[in-house]
Amino acid sequence: MHAADIITKKRNGEELSENEIAWLIQAYTDDKLPDYQMAAWLMAVFFRGMTDRETAALTMAMANSGEQVDLSQVPGIKVDKHSTGGVADTTTLVLAPLVAAAGVPVAKMSGRGLGFTGGTIDKLEAIPGFKATLERQEFIANLQQYGIAVTGQSAAIAPADGKLYSLRDVTATVESIPLIASSIMSKKIASGADKIVLDVKVGNGAFMKTRADAVTLAEAMVNIGRLVGRETVAILTNMDQPLGMAIGNSLEVKEAIELLSGRGTAALKEVCLELGSQMLVLGGQAKTPADGRRLLTNLIDNRQALAKFGEFITAQQGDSAILQDTGKLPQAGFVQKVTAPCQGYITAVNAAQIGYAAMRLGAGREYKGQTIDVAAGIQMQCRLGQYVSCGQPLAIIYTNDKSKLEQADEILQQAIEIKEQPTVIPPLIIGLVDKNGFHDRLE
């Protein structure tokens, strides 16, 4: 095969064969194809798109470019969950022990964050002593014994995806639905999931800004799952304000503990129950989402999910005493309140700006490899539609770098809009995409 022929074919809008895509991806992974040719192909895909069959073939080519995790030693249906990213999205910290407590094995390979806050691994490493890198057999053994294990994602998992993403980032081809969908799904498939639940965020704090784009992405990923034999369901959730009240690694661990203790933010709990109920249905532990929701609610109420979280932390050498005393989590040296400049209703909370403020405080990374401050972040004190008085706290900011407080305060003041009249609060759950297509929750 010749790369130029494949580039030409896609440039002309023709459908590529599975073998052509597999050859192209493997050649690029093996450094046998130069960046300039792959960049030309990516741009052709950006403008011409890909069919469902092409996108599925691209997904499997990337998944097959490296190691495949074999979870067959672990009994039960392994259901993975993935979020397209948001602000105060603490769902994995809650869902992993919650779903495991319900009898569905949770095996997650997660990465470190690049952006607003750290990734799941960064958040877990805020727990004193927590071991986030497990050897393969240790990972399997924990799954077999406890039904839950989380480890850092190996560079050997879908290496083609990492290499392609770096090229997409500098060639203006990131915003391509087939490329986004195949990137996400290739890592989930290579990580050994039997079935997959996706949380596709929509709004100003999400990668997908409009519902139409989010539906298109969700449908693309669900179709990939169908074509490669991995049943997939996607939930569309609103990200026009932070999901939880905590933005920052240590702060989000604390919020997860509060939710599993029966307290916590209603919006975060709602999304966790929505995603978790779908995971239980796919995992065979519930007949319907309603049944799954009841089971998960009971596991929170009777504190079995919290106990599973403690068991999980101990199994990975962390200090589970944080469940009783969150003061054992890393604490910031500087704390400052952001207050309302006037009275009125909260009519806008720009999640993206708030996430940026958290990153500037030290909670996230602006470049790969940057050290983050796990104690830094923002604790929100308001939500959309809430009435506030002049001088009332809107947020509390945390950092170990005092010089960052003023800029974060300014960003938050701009991100939170206060007006005399209340606003319409957008629905949290927008819809669901499964093998039968999009189901609009707003109709």
| Whether 365 is catalytic | no
DSSP 339-390: E-SS-EEEEEE-HHHHHHHHHHHTSSBSSTT----TT-EEEE---TT-EE-T
- Residue-wise pLDDT tens digits, 332-351: 999 999 999 999 999 999 99
Catalytic residue among 112, 187, 201, 308: 187
CA 200 to chain centre: 9
The superfamily CATH assigns to domain 331-419 is Pyrimidine nucleoside phosphorylase-like, C-terminal domain (3.90.1170.30)
| Whether 161 is catalytic | yes
| pLDDT confidence tier of residue 153, bands split at 50, 70 and 90 | confident
Starting at the edge strand that comes first in sequence, how are the strands of the sheet with 232-238 ordered?
79-83, 195-202, 232-238, 429-434, 437-440
Mean per-residue pLDDT for 105-122? Answer: 80
AA letter at 353? Q
Mean per-residue pLDDT for 170-185? Answer: 93
Alpha-carbon distance of 254 to 260, in angstroms, equals 10
- Residue-wise pLDDT tens digits, 262-305: 998 999 999 999 999 999 999 999 999 999 999 999 999 999 99
- Burial status of residue 155 (CB atoms within 10 A of its CB: 0-12, 13-18, 19 or more): exposed
Q: Where are the domains of the chain?
A: 3-49, 79-324+429-440, 331-419
Q: Is the pLDDT of residue 443 over 70?
A: no
Identify any residues that bridge with 335 across adjacent strands, giving them in sequence order. 398
Catalytic residue among 10, 78, 81, 82: 82
DSSP 8-state secondary structure symbol assigned to residue 303: T
Nearest Cα to 238, choosing from 201, 266, 265? Answer: 201
Q: Are 339 and 394 in contact (CB under 8 A)?
A: yes
Catalytic residue among 65, 176, 182, 183: 183
Q: Is the pLDDT of residue 112 over 80?
A: no
DSSP 8-state secondary structure symbol assigned to residue 402: G
CA 437 to chain centre: 22
380 phi and psi, to 5 degrees? -70, 145
Q: Is the pLDDT of residue 193 over 60?
A: yes
Tell me what pLDDT residue 79 has. Answer: 92
378 phi and psi, to 5 degrees? -135, 135
Q: Is the pLDDT of residue 115 over 80?
A: no
Tell me what pLDDT residue 119 has. Answer: 84
| Whether 187 is catalytic | yes
Q: Are 88 and 268 in contact (CB under 8 A)?
A: yes
Catalytic residue among 122, 161, 199, 373: 161
Q: Is the pLDDT of residue 77 over 70?
A: yes
Residue 374, CB half-sphere, CA atoms under 13 Å: how many?
17
Q: Which is it for strands 393-399 and 334-339: parallel, antiparallel or unpaired?
A: antiparallel
Domain 79-324+429-440 has CATH 2.120.10.30: no
Tell me what pLDDT residue 421 has. Answer: 94
Alpha-carbon distance of 393 to 297, in angstroms, equals 31
- Residue-wise pLDDT tens digits, 7-35: 999 999 999 999 999 999 999 999 999 99
AA letter at 271? V
Tell me what pLDDT residue 14 has. Answer: 97
Q: Is the pLDDT of residue 101 over 70?
A: yes
Rg of the Cα atoms in the chain: 22
Mean per-residue pLDDT for 311-334? Answer: 97
Mean per-residue pLDDT for 84-106? Answer: 94
Catalytic residue among 81, 112, 168, 365: 168
Tell me what pLDDT residue 169 has. Answer: 84
Entry pTM: 0.93
Provide the CATH topology of domain 3-49.
1.20.970
- Residue-wise pLDDT tens digits, 162-176: 899 889 988 999 889
Tell me what pLDDT residue 114 has. Answer: 58
| Whether 82 is catalytic | yes
- Residue-wise pLDDT tens digits, 30-54: 999 999 999 999 999 999 999 999 9
Tell me what pLDDT residue 317 has. Answer: 96
